[in-house]
A = this chain, B = another copy of it.
Amino acid sequence: MTTPRVDAGRVDLVRSGMAEGEVLLVSDLSNVRWLSGFTGSSALLVVTPSTSVLVTDGRYGAQARRQADAAGVELEVRVGATQAEMLEHVADAASAATSIVFEAEHATVAQHRRWAAALPRPLVAASGRVEAGRRRKDEREIDAIARAASIADAALAEVAPLLAEPGPHLTEARVRDLLEIRMRELGASGPSYETIVASGPVHAALPHHRPTSRPVERGDLVIIDVGALVDGYHSDMTRTYVAGRATDEQERVYAAVLEAQMAGLAAVGPGATARSIDSVCREVLDGHGLGEWFTHGTGHGVGLLIHEEPYLNRVSEAVLAEGDVVTVEPGAYSEGFGGVRVEDLVVVTSDGCRVLTASPKDSPCPPSPPTT
């Protein structure tokens, strides 16, 4: 893993949202990473009008300094051996403030109580102070996500052909292992999330099935949901195949889901509401009598987290903007039939979107092996 550069504009953006006298206490680790380059599991970042102070525990002091240097971030690192010592450092860093703004979507109720007892200034709840900036990906971030997407494409291009004639050893878990091993070899630091391989009339009907020792059988629908992790950034993609030859019903449902997905992609662009993308997909599936089979939302943002703002669903208030990286992934599921999902990852551009995932999707036939 390398530590990508962290643009100083990020913390400037956060500071520009701070009122007079405020400091911001960042406790969400993805937000900490986005502002500081730090990847450890213990950190409180205090952003003041003029400084950034990262408080961590004894495991991570040297690492935090090294990563801040590599990221090109001006950061003071302080180490506390206990939670109480860490909070003393936070109190000290916030001593010139009149109030401490904390992240209400991330701090737990118990954390808030401990902070209220240990910190000398009033705590003020806020949401999205860092996420508002984090949502719009810069060129380096889009590049990392695109590299992750390409790695998943390449791994799937090698593994999916095995589904054309599945043998008795081609279990769901084996397909997952082959994908994950190949992604590592291609330079990913790991899978982006627990790879989903869901086969047959029961497993493929579960949108978030975990791979089992079930062998893929001829005639199965096989949903493969796979992404790679590069420099902390995730990719996300789903393809559905039929092992062997598709039945008419499998072809029909596949075509309907693909039509919905293409309609969703066509609707993505700056100014489009997240809800409208969801509606477009849902209407296509409704038109094919499959509305009841589409049991989840249409998509979500992707970045340092695999699921982040903006969410594309019935109740989202988000409006898409240039630099958003989101999935478009309608699906149709029914126990006894199985399921179909087609998912691409896109970045919103000035006039529409660019699709970052490139695996073929025009039919549920497993592809031929790569010729190179």
CB neighbors of B among A111-131 (8 A): 112-113, 125, 127
Check B208 against A41 for contact (C-beta < 8 Å).
yes
Tell me, rounded to whole Å, the shortest Cβ–Cβ distance linking A10 to chain B: 22
User: Could you say which of B108, B189, B295, B296 contacts A108, with CB atoms under 8 Å apart?
Assistant: B108
The residue on B at minimum CB distance from A41 is B208
Verify if A169 is at the interface (C-beta below 8 Å from B).
Answer: no
Set of chain B residues within 8 Å of A205, measured between Cβ atoms: 62
Contact B62–A206 (Cβ < 8 Å) = yes
Residues of B within 8 Å of A177, CB to CB, are: 181, 184-185
Tell me if A107 and B108 are in contact (CB < 8 A): yes
Residues in B neighbouring A61, C-beta threshold 8 A: 295
Closest beta carbon of chain B to A232's beta carbon, Å: 10
Asked whether A19 is an interface residue with its Cβ less than 8 Å from the other chain, the reply is no
Q: Which of B57, B108, B296 contacts A105 (CB 8 A)?
A: B108
Range, interface on chain A: 35 or more
Q: How far is the CA of A207 from the CA of B105 in the complex (A)?
A: 30
Whether B125 contacts A208 by the Cβ 8 Å rule is no
Say whether A361 faces chain B, with CB atoms less than 8 Å apart: no
Residues of B contacting A296 in the complex (Cβ-Cβ under 8 angstroms): 57-59
This chain's copy number in the assembly: 2
* A314 contacts across to B, CB distance below 8 A: 81-82
- Decide: A210 and B1 in contact? CB cutoff 8 A: yes
The answer for the CA separation of A184 and B175 in the assembled complex, in Å, is 12
Q: In the complex the two chains form, what is the Cα distance from A208 to B62 in whole Å?
A: 10
Choose from B63, B82, B107, B313 the contact partner of A208 (Cβ within 8 Å): B63
A107 to B108, CA, bound (A): 5
- A209 on the B face (CB < 8 A): yes
Least Cβ–Cβ distance between A85 and chain B, in angstroms: 9
Asked if B104 and A60 sit within 8 Å, CB to CB, the answer is no
CB-based contact B315/A63 at 8 Å = no
Cα(A41)–Cα(B307), bound, Å: 11
Q: Chain B's nearest CB lies how many Å from the CB of A297? A: 8
Q: Which residues of A are in contact with B by a Cβ distance under 8 Å?
A: 1, 39-41, 57-63, 66, 81-84, 102, 104-110, 112-113, 125, 127, 173, 177, 181, 184-185, 189-190, 194, 205-210, 212, 295-296, 313-315, 335
